[in-house]
């Protein structure tokens, strides 16, 4: 209920801001991010120099997002758009076409695709092919779930913001330096927290966690969904149970709003724990910012693995 | 194997319970001519559950069920009264309106609570595979109670279904229907519940106008279809709900073929030959008309028989085709090897640095693109071969299927005279 009310209030405020910014030449420049994670990073490095909004609401599924008229108004008023890329927020292209802002389109200087600055996993090819089976496009798009990637991502956002409001350069650079130092400190702590579980065998419901697993040296042995959005069939579940026992899988990672029944059934058969990790900012209580997201996920997973030992 | 058996036991039990209750309700639905009433009631209960989530209750909890039941109950009252005004407006129209309005309202409510979206999707799609022991127990108790009530009042209910509207018995029917649908849709999903409700009842009605006999036949057919659906889901690793709906359709098709009056085994065989001949005829004409397009039946035949498109290529083309196939397989193996090595490096040994990772990604991309190039070569040569098969395969296929159709058609005409 709180979340729904907060969402309503946020949208009301947002609509009012859009209306206000229409007539004012001195308003703060608007930065529109496709996901709450990118919005959180932009907020962390902007030091209030710009107004940041996320198109996908907290807890929403970015891959299934459907833009509304208010989003069109938001994009029309934007000076910079931040996107995940790799087919994850493909709907942004249609939205930008409708908004009639050529500078914001792919390749334009008003668009920052954060996937270009990080090393990608599970690369398919430059074109998406129907027979590849997984709906993820050119590579696995969940790269923000490696907190180390927030280094190059926040640097790129800070650079774009300086370009947008050069008069606020010193504040933005100072905010970015603070964020980078905080990130380094916390990353070291997260790594220590999960170090005892290096190589721990895990199963994920959806293929969202390869970057996270690589950063913290975890071994995701299976993904339950045979294809994105398709629940596992009985033969697959039985094979998963056998494979989980053989490899001593101790935890099943699942997004808070993914169907948990199949994961629970597997957990009951194998003794593994179902761990509802948050895949994005504000998708679970206590994940109100990019760094808080990893505080939450790392602690939840480490505690579950501690208990399972 | 133990895992598989224990995974399937409860879902199969649930399916048998569903068939038991829904076949009986389905017979009444058919008599009343309100085939889509269950979709409207299911959508209303989904709306109720969504409102519960938006009001802050946990998805799938008792409050959610209460809200779902309340909304389905309101729908039941609405459907009861809609029958009384059906002289002016057909009841089917009311059902359709209830369905679309409930769906639209659900979308609007979900929009205010993104976390509820997955729950609503589950209410409508369901997953019979994850039914637990507690669910089966609740189902058995609930359906047992509804079943006893219906058993006691079966004559009144059947009379109300076939005859003039009576407020009390219409309300009893729609009320218990709403209760049953609310609980079954949450577990098995709209598609499967519709199949449970309508298909066994249709099969039963095909073979007997008497409710008792139709019910028995429907139960047998529904249980057989559930068994086939689970078997297909396991053997072919298909999503269980969709595989079961397909199995229900297959059993219905079988029942229709058995039922064709005076057809007998010979008639069934002739109908089968006719269907196959028509399919071959359509494929032959399509191959002649547009050889470069997809040729589904021909491709399936090639896969099963092992006779590839190579047979219509020249020696040179065949060599290039074989090379492209081999190179593509090699590239795929290379991509797999890189993928496995990168996956292992995520947790084993020193791990890959960012630069190493970029290099791996670049190799993967290159091999994938090269593989795509080889597939392009294969597709081109296949199109060239199909161009020739227009005459060597298409024309004989058309001729043979026309001949077969003539042979099937002639004896029927003789018998008719």
Looking at residue B319, what is its pLDDT?
A: 93
What does the pLDDT read at residue A22? Answer: 42
Does pLDDT of A208 surpass 60?
A: yes
Interface test with A, best of B11, B118, B124, B373 (most A CBs within 10 A): B118
Is the pLDDT confidence value at B324 over 60? Answer: yes
Give the model's confidence band at B350: pLDDT under 50 very low, under 70 low, under 90 confident, else very high. Answer: confident
- A32-41, A137-146, B220-229: lowest mean pLDDT where? A137-146
- All residues of chain A having their beta carbon less than 8 Å from the beta carbon of residue B348 are 199, 219
- Indicate the pairing of strand A51-54 with strand A111-113: unpaired
Q: Per-residue confidence at A230, pLDDT binned at 50, 70, 90?
A: confident
The answer to whether the CB of B214 falls within 8 A of the CB of B204 is yes
**From A71-75, A160-164, A257-261, B318-322, the region with the lowest mean pLDDT:** A257-261
Where residue A151 falls (left for φ over 0; alpha for ψ -120 to 50; beta otherwise) is: alpha
More confident residue, A31 or A5: A31
Judge: B4–A219 Cβ closer than 8 Å, yes or no.
no
Any idea how long chain A is?
309
Are the C-beta atoms of residues B32 and B197 closer than 8 Å to each other?
no
Mutate to test the interface with B, among A4, A60, A115 (most CBs of B within 10 A): A4
Percent of chain A surpassing pLDDT 90: 57
Residues of A in contact with B364 (CB under 8 A): 123-124
Average pLDDT over residues B236-243: 85
Please report, for residues B14, B92, B152, the alpha-carbon distance to residue B20 in angstroms, rounded to integers and kept in the order given. 10, 26, 16
Q: Distance between CA B170 and CA B143 in Å, rounded?
A: 19
Residue A130 has pLDDT above 60, yes or no: no
Best to test chain A binding among B227, B347, B364 (most A CBs inside 10 Å): B347
Rounded-to-integer distance, Cα B17 and Cα B180, Å: 11
Region of poorest pLDDT, from A156-170, B2-16, B184-198, B251-265: B251-265
In degrees, to the nearest 5, what angle opens at C-alpha B118 toward C-alphas B112 and B119?
90
Average pLDDT score over chain B: 87
- CA B184 to chain A, closest CA, distance in angstroms equals 16
For residues B407 and A153, the model is more confident at A153
Tokens matching residue A99: 């908004």
In degrees and rounded to multiples of 5, residue A230 shows phi and psi of -100, 120
Check pLDDT > 70 for residue A171.
yes
Q: How far is CA B6 from the centre of its chain?
A: 24
Output B162 or B293, whichever has higher pLDDT: B293
A23 in contact with chain B, both atoms CB, cutoff 8 A: no
Query: Across A1-15, A124-138, B101-115, B366-380, which has the greatest mean pLDDT?
Result: B366-380
pLDDT at A267 over 80: yes
Q: What is the ipTM of this complex?
A: 0.80
Mapped onto helix, strand or coil, the DSSP state of residue A257 is: coil
What is the pLDDT, as a whole number, of residue B263?
60
Ranking A63-72, A123-132, B283-292 by mean pLDDT, the lowest is A123-132
Using a CB–CB cutoff of 8 Å, tell me whether A123 touches chain B: yes
Q: Is the dihedral of CA B351, B353, B356, B358 positive or negative?
A: positive
- Cβ pair A223, A207 in contact under 8 A: yes
Task: Tell me which residue of A98, A51, A57, A56 sits closest to A79, measured CA to CA.
Answer: A51
pLDDT at A187 over 70: yes
- Phi/psi region, residue B60 (left: phi>0; alpha: psi -120 to 50; beta: rest), is left
Identify the CA nearest to A80 among candidates A47, A114, A56: A114
Give the length of chain B. Answer: 417
- Considering only the beta carbons, identify the residue of A60, A226, A262 that sits closest to B114: A60
- The whole-number average pLDDT for the span B59-81 is 87
Helix ranges (DSSP H) in B208-314: 211-235, 240-259, 264-289, 296-305
Higher-confidence residue of A94 and B261: namely: A94
Residue A236 has, within 13 A of its CA and on its CB side, a CA count of 20
The alpha carbon dihedral of A164, A165, A170, A171 has a sign of: negative
Kindly list the distances between the CA atom of residue A225 and the CA atoms of A133, A135, B376, in Å, as whole numbers in the listed order.
11, 12, 30
Rounded Cα distance between B222 and B211, Å, is 16
Kindly state the tokens that stand for B123: 């209410």
Contact (Cβ atoms closer than 8 angstroms) between residue B231 and residue B218: no
pLDDT interval class at A235 (50, 70, 90): confident
- Mean pLDDT of all residues in chain A? 85
Contact call for residues B363 and B338 (beta carbons, < 8 A): yes
- Of residues A138, A135, A132, A159, the one with CA closest to residue A85: A138
Q: Assess whether pLDDT exceeds 70 at residue B142.
A: yes
Q: Does A259 touch chain B (CB under 8 A)?
A: yes
Put simply, the chain A residues between 68 and 107 with a CB less than 8 A from any chain B CB are none
Burial (CB < 10 A; 0-12, 13-18, 19+), residue B264, is exposed
Residue with the bigger pLDDT between B312 and A275: it is A275
Chain A: residue whose CA lies nearest to B243: A233
| Sign of the four-CA dihedral A124, A127, A128, A130 | negative
Please answer whether residues B404 and B277 qualify as being in contact, where contact means their C-beta atoms are separated by less than 8 angstroms: yes
First-to-final CA distance of chain A: 37
Per residue in A3-30, is it b (16+ CB within 10 Å) or e — as a string? bbeebeeeeeebeebbeebeeeeeebbb
How much is the pLDDT for A129? 46
Hey, which residues does A276 pair with through a beta bridge?
Answer: A254
- Distance in angstroms between the alpha carbons of the first and the last residue of chain B: 58
Residue A232 has a pLDDT of 84
B114 pLDDT more than 80: no
Chain B residues lying within 8 Å of A244, measured CB to CB: none
Cβ neighbours for A19, distance < 8 A, ≥ 6 positions apart: none
Residue B401, pLDDT > 50, answer: yes
| Distance in angstroms (rounded) separating the CA atoms of residues A167 and A124 | 42
| B34 vs B144: which has the higher pLDDT | B144
3-state secondary structure of A220: strand
User: Residues with Cβ < 8 Å from B88, sequence gap 6 or more?
Assistant: none
- Label residue A128 by pLDDT band (50, 70, 90): very low
Check whether A134 has a pLDDT greater than 70. Answer: no
Residue B417 has pLDDT above 50, yes or no: no
Specify whether the CB–CB gap between B217 and B203 falls below 8 A. yes
pLDDT of residue A1: 41
Confidence band of B215 (pLDDT split at 50, 70, 90)? very high
In this prediction, residue B262 has a pLDDT band, given cuts at 50, 70 and 90, of low
Q: How confident is the model at residue B116 (pLDDT cuts 50, 70, 90)?
A: low
pLDDT at A24: 41
Identify the pLDDT of residue A125.
61
């Amino acid at each position: 209920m709180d979340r729904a009310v907060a969402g309503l209030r946020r949208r009301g405020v947002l609509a009012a801001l859009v209306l206000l910014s229409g007539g004012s030449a001195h308003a703060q420049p608007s930065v529109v991010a496709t996901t709450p994670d990118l919005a959180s990073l932009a907020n962390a490095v902007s030091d209030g120099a710009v107004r940041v909004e996320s198109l996908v609401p907290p807890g929403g599924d970015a891959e299934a997002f459907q833009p509304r008229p208010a989003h069109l108004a938001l994009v029309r008023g934007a000076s910079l758009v931040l996107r995940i890329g790799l087919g994850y927020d493909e709907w942004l292209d249609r939205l930008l076409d409708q908004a009639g802002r050529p500078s914001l389109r792919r390749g334009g200087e008003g668009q920052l695709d954060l996937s270009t600055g990080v090393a990608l996993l599970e690369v398919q090819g430059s074109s998406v092919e129907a027979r590849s089976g997984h709906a993820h496009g050119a590579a696995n798009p969940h790269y923000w779930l490696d907190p180390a990637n927030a280094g190059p991502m926040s640097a790129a956002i800070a650079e774009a913001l300086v370009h947008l409001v050069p008069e606020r350069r010193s504040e933005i650079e100072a905010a970015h330096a603070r964020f980078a130092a905080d990130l380094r400190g916390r990353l070291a702590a997260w790594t220590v927290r999960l170090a005892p579980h290096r190589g721990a065998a895990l199963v994920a419901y959806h293929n969202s966690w390869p970057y996270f697993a690589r950063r913290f040296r975890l071994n995701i042995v299976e993904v339950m969904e045979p294809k994105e959005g398709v629940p596992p069939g009985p033969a697959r579940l039985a094979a998963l149970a056998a494979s989980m026992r053989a490899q001593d899988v101790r935890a099943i990672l699942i997004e808070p709003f993914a169907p948990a029944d199949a994961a629970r059934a597997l957990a009951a058969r194998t003794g593994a724990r179902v761990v509802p990790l948050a895949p994005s900012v504000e998708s679970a209580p206590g994940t109100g910012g990019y760094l808080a997201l990893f505080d939450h996920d790392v602690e939840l997973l480490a505690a579950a693995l501690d208990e399972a030992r | 194997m133990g895992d598989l058996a224990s995974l399937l036991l409860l879902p199969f039990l649930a399916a048998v319970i569903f068939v038991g209750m829904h076949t009986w309700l389905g017979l009444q639905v058919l008599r009343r001519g309100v085939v889509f009433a269950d979709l409207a009631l299911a959508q209303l209960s989904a709306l109720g559950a969504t409102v519960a989530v938006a009001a802050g209750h946990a998805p799938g909890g008792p409050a959610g069920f209460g809200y779902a039941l309340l909304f389905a109950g309101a729908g039941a009252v609405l459907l009861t009264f809609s029958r009384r005004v059906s002289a002016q407006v057909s009841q089917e129209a009311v059902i359709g309106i209830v369905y679309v309005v409930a769906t639209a309202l659900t979308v609007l409510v979900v929009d205010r609570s993104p976390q509820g979206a997955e729950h609503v999707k589950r209410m409508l799609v369901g997953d019979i595979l994850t039914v637990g022991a507690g669910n089966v127990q609740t189902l058995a108790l609930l359906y047992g109670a509804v079943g006893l009530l219906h058993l006691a009042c079966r004559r009144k209910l059947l009379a109300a279904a076939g005859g003039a509207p009576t407020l009390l018995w219409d309300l009893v029917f729609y009320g218990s229907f709403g209760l049953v649908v609310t609980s079954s849709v949450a577990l098995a999903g709209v598609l499967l519940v519709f199949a449970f409700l309508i298909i066994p009842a249709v099969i039963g009605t095909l073979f007997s106008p008497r409710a008792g006999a139709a019910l028995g036949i429907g139960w047998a057919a529904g249980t057989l279809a559930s068994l086939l659906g689970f078997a297909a889901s396991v053997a072919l690793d298909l999503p269980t709900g969709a595989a079961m709906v397909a199995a229900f359709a297959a059993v219905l098709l079988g029942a229709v073929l058995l039922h064709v009056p005076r057809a007998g085994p010979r008639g069934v065989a002739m109908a089968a030959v006719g269907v196959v001949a028509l399919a071959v005829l359509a494929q032959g004409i399509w191959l002649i008309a547009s050889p470069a397009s997809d040729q589904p039946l021909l491709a399936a035949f090639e896969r099963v028989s092992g006779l590839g498109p190579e047979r219509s290529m020249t020696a040179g083309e065949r060599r290039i085709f074989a090379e492209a196939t081999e190179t593509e397989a090699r590239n795929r193996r290379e991509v797999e090897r890189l993928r496995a090595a990168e996956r292992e490096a995520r947790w084993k040994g020193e791990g890959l640095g960012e630069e190493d990772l970029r290099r791996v990604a670049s190799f993967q991309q290159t091999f994938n693109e090269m593989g795509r190039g080889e597939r392009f070569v294969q597709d081109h040569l296949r199109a060239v071969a199909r161009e020739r098969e227009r005459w060597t395969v298409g024309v004989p296929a058309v001729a043979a299927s026309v001949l077969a159709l003539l042979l099937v058609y002639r004896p029927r005409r003789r018998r008719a005279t």
